[in-house]
Structure formats: structure tokens, C-alpha cells
Amino acid sequence: MEAQDVKSNLILILDYGSQYTHLITRRIRSLSVFSLCISGTAPLKSITDLNPRVIILSGGPHSVHATHAPSFPDGFIEYVESKGVFVLGICYGLQLIVQRLGGEVRVGEKQEYGRMEIEVVRDCGLFGYRGIGDREVVWMSHGDEAVRLPEGFEVVARSQQGAVAAVENRARRFYGLQYHPEVTHSPQGMETLQYFLFDVCGVTAGWKMEDVLDEEIKVIKGMVGPEDHVICALSGGVDSTVAATLVHKAIGERLHCVFVDNGLLRYKERERVMKTFERDLHLPVTCVDATEQFLSNLKGVVDPEVKRKIIGKEFISIFDAFAQDLEHKLGKRPGYLVQGTLYPDVIESCPPPGSGRSHSHTIKSHHNVGGLPKDMKLKLIEPLKLLFKDEVRELGRILEVPVAFLKRHPFPGPGLAVRVLGDVTEGNALEILRQVDEIFIQSIKDAGIYDSIWQAFAVFLPIKSVGVQGDQRTHSHVVALRAVTSQDGMTADWYKERERVMKTFERDLHLPVTCVDATEQFLSNLKGKRPGYLVQGTLYPDVIESCPPPGSGRSHSHTIKSHHNVGGLPKDMKLKLIEPLKLLFKDEVRELGRILEVPVAFLKRHPFPGPGLAVRVLGDVTEGNALEILRQVDEIFIQSIKDAGIYDSIWQAFAVFLPIKSVGVQGDQRTHSHVVALRAVTSQDGMTADWYNFEHKFLDDVARKICNSVRGVNRVVQDITSKPPSTIEWE
């Protein structure tokens, strides 16, 4: 296809701040159609000069009701209608069309985040290739919804909650999708986009990745003078390797590569990477050991954003020093720095320098984007900054980069600093993480599934939990394992093939029961007849784990934890104990209950610790709304287990509130919210236990329900350790 034909089929995306905006660009390019993205508030002339065939209005974090909410320029409606331009609004873009053309948008009664099912209600326009009643799963991320459409518009699809999912006015060539068809979590989204572009809009294909290669080489040659020298920061990953190869193709031996050991690398990463550079890429690479420089500046730092900025600053100071050394050798100071920055890095660190964008929420500052100092002396060359990971791998294939490099999992520029949640210099956190990560990754490779996973890694959590190892009580660190599948890193699913890697009282009991808030109030109600005994349901595991129990004479066991009704009792307690079950295990107690005709529903109830949620909130139970969050999460988890018909197959299931927060994206906004853990085990007596292996769909549904329903939570993890080495509870 000729250049003029490519431009006449231009798809223009107006960016209103969605973290997925440039993923739309990527998806359209994958259809061999040229696409560009500009600010959604750009002047009308910027749009008309490009003469687009189709305009797509992106999603965004704002509400159309907000003051200064971004919108297309005055005259936009008149322009697209006079030129016959097709317009598609996605998420916020749909709401913008509805509001600006006379409809009504309100805050939705229920927010919709994550996977939702929609149903086609009209088989025309957007869904001309579908039938009425057809259903598909899509990815929602919105709080507002269209409740009244402009004249001439009709609903063509609705969500399972009844909200408007797709609208159109074919006569005026306006279309809208409330969901995100561009993400891989909308499995049929690409089919919808393809049908819209080729069948509805009449666009033709003809653009290819080789065009990107040729264009970037021209740009680099035009930027770098014939006598100029360039530094390339190599990390050993896909991005920097492809960037280096591309620049080397453009300027040859005037490229000087440097690899920095910042003390935050994976197990034996330095040795492995340097060997590969020399053996496979034949690039002249200088290795700089800056471990002390980085770690000394990170000492005491726990905020991940601060870590990223410190690391970015230290990298640049090293590159400046490297440039000075080269100046002495070459007689000319290098003026440029090549980095393998990708578009997701730019988007998540947005607004990127010089982009003019102001509507996105910053998710995180990448060390090579938002983490760069303002007074940096080197000029940047970022040949991949408009590409996504899959595009970079394709470009690398064209450049004949070794397959082993192209298949490597992404590794963050700040290294393990962002995988140690806390001070990276405290204790032996880095060494523990390196060992855990090495075991995890090697196990994935041994299982033959490394290439099926987009990214896998371990995380060191700033918490400890009680465990049992070698018959001794341990209070040790907790690590998390993370593995996801993705196509471009903009959205991701947790990896679902992990088993290949890891292996009422009065009504029923007829007992007189008084519900009280405190013991003293209860005793005062007995009017002077103070009882002398207290009956407790202490079991033998409680006694053993609180060992040595009072009066047992035993002194050799290690105390695992003090149960509130054994080791936790005050020495001056006036009541004498009656513990009829203290030599029995849970299964024996249930058998005894069956003989006593205790209702089955009671006998099947999961154990609940005497101290209650106090031992399931890891930290101060009175801080913030930890207890309320935990109650809601626990209720969703347990009810989901019951709905799935597996409650009786599980010995104990519960949620844990962790004293950490993580960065997330909800409704196109950056969130820094709480993390909860789900724990479910199978056991016969509580002395040993195995983690329960839920079906993937179950975990997917539960995680989505929790993040959608419980405000303040954006990440859900599952505990997959057995007892031993851990205990069932997390305390």
C-alpha cells in the first residue's frame, strides 16, 4: 500500500487519559491499519490536518460531570458530520458522546470493574455479525453510565446488570462501547473492532512493522550527527537489547553499551547477562558495579515511588560518569543515551515529558521515564517508546535478535527494589528474595511453561507469620509468588495453570443463651450468684500449640502460639476451668457432637479462632477500617465457597488483612489500596493441613467480586503453603 493510501485510512485516537488508550492504537496497528493518538483536547485544526477516516474517543478517569472534564473541541461534531467521519466512543468516550449530543449520564448504582457479560439486543451496526441474544464476556471499568440516549441513538447491547453496554446512531455515524474492546480480557473485542473498521467504516489494511523499523532508523540518523557518540543502557532484557540492536544498525560502532549492577539484580544475573552479551550479541559492553552507591541511597526508603526516583537519579549519574570516561578516551563527549522505554512505561508514568497530556492518572514512575532528573545532561533516544512488548519482540525478530532474549520475562528497571515491599537494605531481604525467585523461575522452566507465562516473579512482604518447622515454632518471613499472562502488559490475568508448578442456637440446640458485650455485664446479671467455673471448648491442638499447658509438667515442646483459652489465660483468673474436650481433636469433637445430636450444620462449621479477627488483621485492628474491610472480604469468600458447593470439602477458609498497600488501576485511575489474602485448607484434625486447590474460575470470580464490592482493596492473594511449615492461621 502506498503512503498516501495509508494516510487516507488513518484511524485517529483522541486520548482522554485512559491507561488503555494507546492499546487501542496497538490493536488497530495489529490489523495492519495505521493509527495515531493525540490529546483529546487538541485544537480542531490538529484533527482536521490529519484528515482521519475514523476517530476513536478513548476512555478516561474523569466523570463527564466533573469541572473541567476533558472534551473534544468546539466544532468537532460539525466537522465529523460534514466529512462523513466515523466516530467510536469507548467507555468515557461513549459517555462524552451521549452527554454532548443531548443525552444523560449519571453515576451508576453499581460500579462495574473487571469481567462482565453483555447481551446483544440489536444485531446491526456494531454487532451486525452477531445475533440478538448472543452473549460475550467483556472488560468493564466505569462508575458512570448512560441512562438516557440522544435522539436517534439506540441501545445495541446491555450488561448483565442491565446497564447500557453499546449504543449507535448509524445515520450520523456515531457509535459507542461502554466496555474496553481493546484489552485481551474482552476475548471478542478484537473481532468487534475489526468488524467496525473493515465492515462498518470500510477501512483497508496495508501497514506493517517493517515500516516502523525503517522510520526509526531514519529518525535516529537524523537526530545523531555523523560524528556523535551514543551510550546505551543495557539491562539484559528484551527492550534494551532490541533498542541497542536497532541503534547499532543505524550508527554502528559509535554506540557504547553499559551494564550497571545496582545490587538489585536477580540471582547470578550479572554473570549470566554479561556472558550472553559477549557470546550472542557481540556487543562491546562495559560492566559497572554500583551496588554500594544504590543501596546506600535506598537505606530506610519504603515508598515505592521514592525508590523509583532515587534509582532513576543514580542511573543517570552513572551514565554521566561513563560519558566522561568515554570523553577522555574518544576526545568527544557522548551526547545521547539510548533506553528501551516502551509505551506502557510512558503511559503509566504519565504525563510523559513533552507529551502535552494531562488527563491520565500516574500509575507509577518508571525509572527511565518519570524517575529521570530534570537536569540530566544526556539527550534521550527511545526508539521503542511508541511500541508495546509484543511489537518489540516482533521488531527484534526482524532484527535477528536471539530468540532466548526475545522470550525473556520482563524485569523492572528498578530491579528487586520494587519487589521488596519495604526497606531493601533491612536484614537479608534481598538475598531471601533472590533465592525464592530463582527456585520459582527454575521450577517454571522445568515444568515447560516458561513461554506460556508473560511474567513470573517473587515478592518479599514486610510481614512475618507463625509456622512449625522441625517441631519448632518459627516466626518467619512471608513471600508472594506472582505469575501472569498478557499480550502487551497493559492488562494481565493471573496464570491459571499453577498446579503444574505447585502442587442459630435456640432454634436448633434448645439451649438458654444470653448474648452479651462483656463478661462483667454478664456476671452482674446473675444477681450475686457468682459462678465458680468456666466451661471452654479447648481442644488438644490448642493445648499442644500453647505448650507447656498449665499443670502438664511438660517442658520440651516449643510454644507455637498462645491460645486465648490456654496459654493466653491470666494467672490470677478466679474462675476454675472445665475443659471436657481438651484431649480431643476436631474430628473427634464432631463425632461426639453427632452422638449428642448436635445439628449437622453446627458440626460442619469451619473453625474460628477465639481471639476472632484480631489474629486475622496483621497489625493494629483499630487502625482505619481494617476490620470492616476484612468482614466484607471474608463474607464474600465464604459465601462464594458455599455457593460453589465446596464448603464441606474445606476444613477452614478465611480472609486475612495484610498491613501493606499496592498500586492498582480501577476506572482508569491509580489506586494505592489494601491487600487481602485468602486462606483455605483441608485437614482431618488441624495438626497438619494442605492448602485447598480452588478451580481457576472460582478464584477469578472471587477476586473480581472483592475488588468490585469492597472499597479500599485492589489486590487479592492466595496462601498456598501447607502446615507445616506454616500454621493454618496467619498470626
Give the count of beta carbons closer than 10 Å to the beta carbon of residue 647: 16
690 assigned to a ligand binding site? no
User: In the numeric block, which cell numbers belong to residue 84?
Assistant: 462523513
**Distance (Å, rounded) from C-alpha 638 to C-alpha 16?**
39
623 part of the active site: no
Tell me the C-alpha to C-alpha distance, in Å, between residue 590 and each of 352, 399, 435, 512, 629: 62, 67, 43, 22, 31
619 vs 621: CA distance, rounded Å: 6
**Inter-CA distances, 105 with 156, 163, 178, 385, 652, Å:** 17, 11, 12, 35, 45
Find, among 575, 657, 587, the residue nearest to 622 by Cα. 657
Q: Which of 37, 91, 350, 707 is catalytic?
A: 91
Amino acid identity, residue 533? Y
Q: Per the annotation, does 240 bind a ligand? A: yes
Active site residue 182: yes
Residue whose grid cell is 532474549 = 405
Annotated catalytic, 707? no
* Bond before 548 cis per omega within 30 degrees: yes
Listed in sequence order, the DSSP H helices in 492-625 are 505-509, 519-524, 540-545, 586-595, 600-603
56 contacts: CB under 8 Å, gap ≥ 6: 11, 12, 13, 14, 24, 87, 88, 89, 90, 93
**291 is known to lie in a ligand binding site:** no
**DSSP-based three-state secondary structure for 705:** helix
Q: Among the options 22, 180, 229, 563, which is catalytic?
A: 180
Catalytic residue among 182, 382, 391, 731: 182
Q: How far is CA 142 from CA 18, 113, 163, 283, 477, in A?
A: 11, 6, 11, 48, 37
235 appears as a binding residue in the annotation: yes
**DSSP code of residue 689:** B
Contact 346, 380 (CB under 8 A): no
Residue in the block written with cell 530491579? 415
Report cis status (omega within 30 of 0) of the bond before 609: no
Q: How many CB atoms lie within 10 A of CB 599?
A: 13
Does 237 belong to an annotated binding site? yes
Any bridge partners for residue 476, and if so which?
465
Query: Distance from CA of residue 571 to its chain's centroid?
Result: 48
410-444 CB burial, b ≥16 within 10 A, e <16: bbbbbbbbbbbbbbbbeeebbebbbebbeebbebb
Which element (helix H / strand E) includes 691?
strand 690-691
> Which residues line the annotated binding site?
235-241
Catalytically annotated residues: 91, 180, 182
Residues within the annotated binding site for ATP? 235-241
